[in-house]
Chains A and B, each alone.
Chain A
């Protein structure tokens, strides 16, 4: 009889906890106004990147020598550059490069960082030691210097720049995932999983990995922002996106010579870099708060 009573109480409580959990998480996110605004900006940016050819009023590489260094006007919202290209259109197309750079570099970092971090944390020992010393070595460089060196070795170009940025971001992920695995591998449910006869790889993939996802998600969002900055920096230095493909970083570098005559060439992509990075960071913070049950 007692049992049924216990069950009865539980049943009432347990009808929709999953829904309510999702709801509280959403509620927590929407309470953070900054994160919501940031999210909206990111959505607009993604939209811009996807439909760039439709949205852009001009061809981004179309040169019009009759309209060189024109100030922002009704026809050219953000003005034109030194060879008469429409800055607004170039900024819109530049969003493609930046988002691509952000997502693909982080993708590369995750695809190396997750397996290596899982193995390192789960097996410990010599393997862990070697991996950790390599990540220490990589982390000891300033990230831009390392990205620069790698991009220089790999050769200029967007693909190589993304590869270089991905490699630079990887050690952070390895460290984070390893730390999470270390925390979880001693938990009793891992021992229970082993005791039920699961082989190591299943314990790692099915039981440990899903438990490490929340911090990985947060770190990945924040890493996208730093990847975008790195790509812009590499492009600014001439090792990233090559002309005529519009990239915010490259535009910034090209506009620098005209800063006193035509500041809009540099300022417009600069503002977009700033807004994008700050939005992604604020959004990432929002995600962290949403996933952290300790915050209300």
Chain B
């Protein structure tokens, strides 16, 4: 494990994030673990509201005011980001860690010229003169494939198309040559051809600049194109963590299977697309056992009241599901785990007793 942390750029360990309400703290993220090695792309997948974006905001230190990291570590280059104050974080943000947002149409300030917005970040983190920063901005715009960048820097965001703006956002994010890029659904708002161009661009720049990427998406097509490893999240927990090939070849968690099955296929004709029934449970009323149990087609009684541990099934393919536990046979046979659980289950009226 230590070996991994030495090589890795970002190491998130047992991250818990809670939101303060008037009455209590609602736990949103529950023990997130992952690491991103240098030059590697990690995709975080999951449906809306599962905590993907919150994970990235925690890394950036941009959680909303009521949100707090209640436990865990975010190690970036050996520093624990969770323990830094806002001032220290400011010097890392935009410099060593950058972020691209989902909405290129609204992520640029409408009242400032493109050039100003790119040079702002450069001049903030690197003591360079205005002229140099401007040259750098032009160079970055050229790098992301924007034609005649010398002219573009004098334009306002409304003069550019969505794809162009996303390129500008990428140029902005990469202008200080970050070690880690967090991309929160960077292609969701773009049409498919532009999407492909942007993904290709991100991939190309990753190799050129040797940075790591954490990409948040709910599009498995994007994952298969860009990821080295994949983190599948469900209701604030990691349910599956594996390298991309292993995930697509052998998806293990019922949720992941459901996600992959629900992708429309060109070669198979079907009347109806398979779906995962139900929706993500309310954070206030999380199931006591496995969080996916309420929607899981394979769920046994035990799944409803015992939280499954993270199991490592193959090398580095981890899954949080009882089916991959040694105890699954017992569970399947008995519907429960052991005597102690039998009592608990009985008291919950899940089984006849």
Contacts and interface: CB of A to CB of B under 8 A. Distances in A.
A47 interface: no
Contact of A188 (B91, B107, B151, B159): B107
Contact of B99 (A195, A210, A211): A195
Contacts of B87: 199
B91 A197 contact: yes
Interface string B282-312: 0000000000000000000000000000000
Interface residues of A, number: 30
Interface stretch (A3-11, A71-79, A100-108): A3-11
A206 B120 contact: yes
Nearest to A17: B159
15 contacts: A3-B197, A6-B147, A8-B147, A17-B159, A125-B65, A191-B62, A192-B101, A195-B99, A196-B124, A196-B172, A197-B121, A198-B121, A198-B124, A211-B109, A211-B110
B147 A11 contact: yes
A211 to B, nearest CB: 6
B93 A10 contact: no
What's the dominant secondary structure at chain A's contact region? Answer: helix
B98 interface: yes
A191 B91 contact: no
A197 B159 contact: no
Given A193-B109, A211-B110, 4 more contacts: A6-B161, A196-B93, A196-B173, A206-B120
A211 B161 contact: no
A210 B111 contact: yes
B94 A195 contact: yes
A-B residue pairs, 8 tightest by C-beta? A7-B147, A197-B94, A196-B94, A197-B93, A196-B121, A195-B99, A210-B111, A188-B107
Interface of A: 2-4, 6-8, 10-11, 13-14, 17-18, 124-125, 187-189, 191-199, 206-207, 210-211
Given A17-B159, A194-B62, A196-B120, A10 B106 contact: no
Given A3-B145, A10-B160, A192 B169 contact: yes
Interface string B103-114: 100111111100
B145 A188 contact: no
Contact of A189 (B108, B125, B146, B163): B108
A197 B110 CA distance: 19
A8 B95 CA distance: 33
A199 B169 CA distance: 19
Contacts of A192: 99, 101, 107-108, 169, 172
A195 B120 contact: no
A2 B107 CA distance: 25
Contacts of A193: 109
A18 B156 contact: yes
B108 A198 contact: no
A197 B124 contact: yes
Nearest to A18: B156
A4 B142 CA distance: 12
B276 interface: no
A14 B157 CA distance: 11
B93 A11 contact: no
Contacts of A124: 65
A2 B163 CA distance: 13
Nearest to A124: B65
A194 B93 contact: yes
B146 A210 contact: no
Contacts of A206: 112, 120
Contacts of B112: 206-207, 210
A253 B233 CA distance: 76
B92 interface: yes
Contacts of A2: 197
B101 to A, nearest CB: 5
B345 interface: no
Q: Which of A3, A195, A211 has the most CB of B within 10 A?
A: A195
Contacts of B214: none
B230 interface: no
Nearest to A211: B111
